[in-house]
Structure formats: C-alpha cells, structure tokens
Structure 1
C-alpha cells in the first residue's frame, strides 16, 4: 500500500513537473525570432487584441500565437481596446518580456521633421508621414476656425504656428495632440534668444515677423543675404512703399513652379499680392525657417530699397538705394537673362 502511494506521488509529481515546465516555456522561452527584419510593431488606436496578434504574426515578430494569447490572458494584457503606439521589439524575447513591454506602453519615439511647405496642406502631408493622424484630419483641424482661434490664430495666420525643426513625439499622436504640441513648441521658440523683445523693438508681433520671414525665405536662397533683404523690406514698410515681392505673387496665383514673374502674376488681384497692396500680406505665404525668422529679428540697418539678381553671381543680389541705380542693375540682369535664353534656344 505504501509503495503504491509513493508511486502515485511520483507520478503526480512528474505530471506536475511536466505541466509546470510546459507553462514555464510558454511564459519564459523565446517567442520572438532571434532575427527580425522589422523590429517595430505599430498598434493603431482602437485596435483589438486580435489586431495586435495579427500584426505581430504577419510581421514575423512572434513565432507561436497560441502561447502569446495564453500568456496575454495570464498577464491581463488582453483588453477590448488595446494600448496604441509604436514599439521596438528585441530578438529572442519571451512572451513575458514582449507582453510586459507592450502592456507598459514603452513606446519608441519618432522624430518628426517639419520642412518648408507653402501651404497648410503641405504641413499636414509632412506630419502625417510620421504620426498616426491622417493628413485629411490634420487639414480639417487647421481650417477649423472655432478650434484654432482658441490659440489666437486664423486660417490666414496659422502657418506662423509651425517652426521648421525636428520634434520628438509618439507615433500615435492624433491631430489635436499634434496641434497642441506645436503651440507649446511655438511658445518655447519665441521665449528663447530674446525673440519677443526683438519683435517688440521692430514694432511687430511674432506673426508679423513670421510673415515677413516667409517672404525672405522664398525670396532668398543664400543665408548670408537674408538679414540684408529683411532690412530692405523693413525699409519699404517704414516709408509705405509696396514690398513688390515675387514670392507673394507666386502664392497669390498658386503658381509655385514659376521661374519668372510675369505680368499675369503681378496683376493678379489678391490681398497676398504685394505688387498691388502695401504692407505685409494677411499672413505667411510659406513656412519660414529659423534662420529667416532670426534674419528679420536681427535685420541689417542700411538704406537699401531695391535689389536685383547679380548676373555675375547667380543666386546673389545687387542692392541699391535709389531707383536710378536699381534700373541700371536691372538692365544688366535682363540683358544677361535674354542672352541666357538665346543660348538655350541655339542648343541642338
């Protein structure tokens, strides 16, 4: 009898050991492949648990879905709506390590790069390449007057919110979270390097500085000339002279690819066309780089009112104080341009 009891205990122990080992392997044995072609998993907002499993499996990021499901139940990871985000996965992770990582929401941040677009739609398209928010949702928010006016903007001035830079945030950022982050970054930008007081000394608001900077941005390709050109435009504003800025005519007509500004551009009726209207346009005509914004804030003090492309140094400009001097420079430039076009026509 005693011998039978010992055998029974032994059998139960063996069975229990096998069961425990099986359970241990489900939890602790590697379930992520030891090599990964893609070590990032994206879990969209409102994903179900099945969506998560499918994403991991179809991306070859887990080997066994059955054990993953079982351990998820044990670790209370499974929910009706799963935690969204972009997560970095390590090769050879166990179910426990992987689930613990996802459950804790340990997201891998992304670096969102904003560059120089002409329109709010360009900002939306660029941002949507990095975050979960769709470009359509971003555009709808940008043109939602009731929403953006709470932060002091209109659709005409909203471009001044966006400072071209690299921002670290999470992939599952929606359109409103993105907007609020840009508001925070905008305030941080203007509260550094004495920018607000510099704008005040110019008698301008940050939005007005940005608007002028957007013109400088699209007018000048050489950073070394930006402060001089900003000073030139400020001189024109002071005496009530029209800015006559080519980029504003491009923006007004939406002819962004134009290489020469023609009569049809400068006569196009729009409050943005500074060939027709004095002062600054109603808002920015483009995103403005930090260098262009600072060029306005630290603009050169001089007596130049006119500028023309330098035919001897394409990309640079000749500056003049008088219309007579400017007309001489302009004739040189147009002769050079005409000769250039003739040479192009003569080429086979």
Structure 2
C-alpha cells in the first residue's frame, strides 16, 4: 500500500513536470513568435522607408506593407497597438537589409532608430555646391541650408566671416542622420573643423606664419592650380616663397574667381586688370577668403610644402596638367612664352 502511494506520487510528479515543460515550451514559442520570429520581406531583401513629420500612420502602414509581409501578422499588429506606434513613430530614414522581428520593427520606428547617411564631399567650388549636395541627401531642402550659409549672424557665431566661412568645411566622409537640421549639420562641421585642426597642425601653420584659415585660403589656390597631386607641395612652396619675399602671388585661379569666368581656358589681360581684393595680381598677400573648399590633400600640401627656391611656374606645353618651375623671372618668361605660343597655335584665346 505504502509503495503504491509512492509510485503514484512519482507518476504525479512526472506528469506535472512534463506538463510544466510543455507549458514553458508553449510560452516560449508564443514569446518567440511574438517578439523574435523574423518578419519576411515582400519582394526585395532590402527596403528603405522615409518618414517625414507630415507622414500619417496610414502612409507609414502602407509603406511597411509594401516592404514586409504583414497581412494577418498578429504579432506585429498586437505589438504596434500595445506600444501605441500609430501615435509615437518618429521621422527618419530607415533602411532594412536583413530580417527583423516584429518587436524590433516596431521599436525601430517608435524610438527613431535611423540608418545613418554617408555624406561625402571632396573639393567643392563653393558653399552653394555643398548646399545642393546636402539638399539631395537630407530631409531639408537646399534652400534651407543656403539660408543658414549666408546668414551673417550664423557665420559669426562660428568664428568666421562671409569670406572665410568656406574654410570651416573640411572635406571628408561624415555619417549624419536624414532628419538633421541645417544648424545641426553646421555645428557638426565646426566640431570636425576643431578636431581636424589639432595642436600639431596649428603649430605647423605657425611655423609657416599662417593661421589655419590662411592655410585653407592658400590651399584653395593650390587646389585650383593643379589636379596633379605630386605637384601640389611644389606649388605650395612657390606661393610660400613669394609671401616671404612680399611678392604678389599672381595666381590665375584668384583672377578667375574674381571675374566669375570659371569656364575660361586662358586668363586675358583684361581679366588681370579687374579690381577685386581676390585679384592677386593687383594685391599683395592672400585674398580675403578661400576661392573654393580645398581638399585635405591641398591643405596638407601647404602644411608640408616642398622646400626649394622657385618663385615662378606656368603650365607645361605638354598640356597634361603639369607645370614647369623657375627660380628667375627670365626663366619664367621663357617658359611662359612657349606656352602662349602653343595656345595661339591651338587658337585658344580665352
């Protein structure tokens, strides 16, 4: 009798244990289905959704259904309802490239877990080009950023003036968010500028008797003088030699900038006579600001110039973008005459 009772008790414990295991597994299965089972893509295994502040829940729901198989997906519906996604989703750019659970999908929009954008720019002609580039990638319009870029109060708040402001933008690749405001982007650029101009680079500039802004101004001229990277330090050295000798830079790109005739293939005497603080044929020293947004390569060329005695250079008759350098005006005039004859022969007069 006693042993029968023990046997019955053991059976009860085993049955209860099995029952609890089944309940636990069932609970885990429900939990997994609800929170972790991947939601399937509808067509392509990549989907990008843009949500603006004006996007309605119906529009977001429609975009989600175009990306994912959400029809009759009770898990997504219940979680979205429980977390009040209809009234709490955030604007942003959301890119989905791999499977995601219903719970994570809801949380992505509820907490604004955006996918960053890579904004990449190298040398640019001016800030308007930068505004156009940003307007194509960001939520704000190019006009919005142009407004900030031309606002004197904004410019002065960053420690620049209208002429020197392009120096604040260091070309590179930056991760930003689609919803960043123009001011947020400008503040980011100022932080990157301060990070770039570390103590070591500031000291290098001082050794050249230049400020960081002046380095950028000279780098912008080097940038426009040559696209041959190996020549940039040599050209930077020529201009630094001329500055030390208190000679006008006589840089053709500054004349092109001053006249606004960016498509010319030959700088004319009439262009050289233009009255402008940017005309380095008429003014000694550096122009008031950069004539473009110079690349890091150009900036480094100025900070690490080639040491030599050249004071002059002109385009090579090879017409391959390279230059010939000279120490004396006599040598330079001979080189320049060869190039002028070549332009005349090719009937390039302007």
Q: What's the TM-score once normalised by structure 1's chain length?
A: 0.83
The Cα offsets for residues 74-100 of structure 1, whole Å up to 9 and x where unpaired, read as 2222326x3122212256645433112
Tell me if structure 2 keeps the 8 A contact 1:85–1:107.
Answer: yes
Q: Is the CA contact 2:47–2:67 (under 8 Å) kept in the aligned structure 1?
A: no
Q: Could you tell me how far apart the structure 1 residues matched to 2:230 and 2:38 are?
A: 57
How much does 1:201 deviate?
Answer: 1.1
The corresponding residue for 1:151 is: 158
Match of 1:217 in 2: 223
Query: Equivalents in 1 of 2:275, 2:208: separation in Å?
Result: 29
1:102 aligns with 2:126: no
Residue of structure 2 in register with 1:243 after alignment: 249
The more displaced of 246-255 and 207-216 is: 246-255
Inter-partner Cα distance in structure 2 for 1:236 and 1:190: 25
* Alignment match of 2:58 (pick from 50, 74, 85): 50
1:111-139 Cα offsets, whole Å, 9 max, x none, are 11012221110111122222222211111
1:228 & 1:61 partners in 2: Cα distance? 57
- Aligned residue in 2 for 1:139: 146
Shift of 1:143: 0.9
Matched, 1:176 2:183: yes
Residue 129 (str. 1) matches residue 136 (str. 2): yes
Counterpart among 285, 292, 303 of residue 297 in structure 1: 303
Aligned position for 1:330: 336
Tell me how far apart the structure 2 counterparts of residues 71 and 234 of structure 1 sit (CA, whole Å): 66
Q: What is the Cα deviation at residue 49 of structure 1?
A: 2.7
Pairing 1:243-282 to 2, within 5 Å after superposition:
243-282=249-288
Q: Across the two proteins, how many residue pairs are aligned to each other?
A: 319
Task: Tell me the CA shift for residue 32 of structure 1.
Answer: 4.6
- After superposing on structure 2, the runs of 4+ consecutive aligned residues of structure 1 that deviate more than 6 Å are 24-30
Query: Which ranges of structure 2 fall in alignment gaps of 5 or more residues?
Result: 1-28
Secondary structure in structure 1 of the residue aligned to 2:85: coil
Q: CA deviation at 1:332?
A: 1.5
Check conservation: 1:222, 1:316, Cα contact below 8 A.
Answer: yes
Q: For residues 18-72 of structure 1, what are the alpha-carbon distances to aligned partners after superposition, in whole Å with 9 as ceiling and x for unaligned?
A: xxx99x9898876653432651111124544334224334x54454399666642
CA radius of gyration, larger in: 2
Report the counterpart of residue 322 of structure 2 in structure 1: 316
Does the 8 Å contact 2:49/2:94 carry over to 1?
yes
Distance 1:144 1:257 in 2: 29
CA RMSD in angstroms, aligned pairs only? 2.7
Offset at residue 206 of structure 1 (A): 0.6
Structure 1: segments with no counterpart, 5+ residues: 1-20, 343-348
For 2:87, what is the secondary structure of its paired residue?
Answer: coil
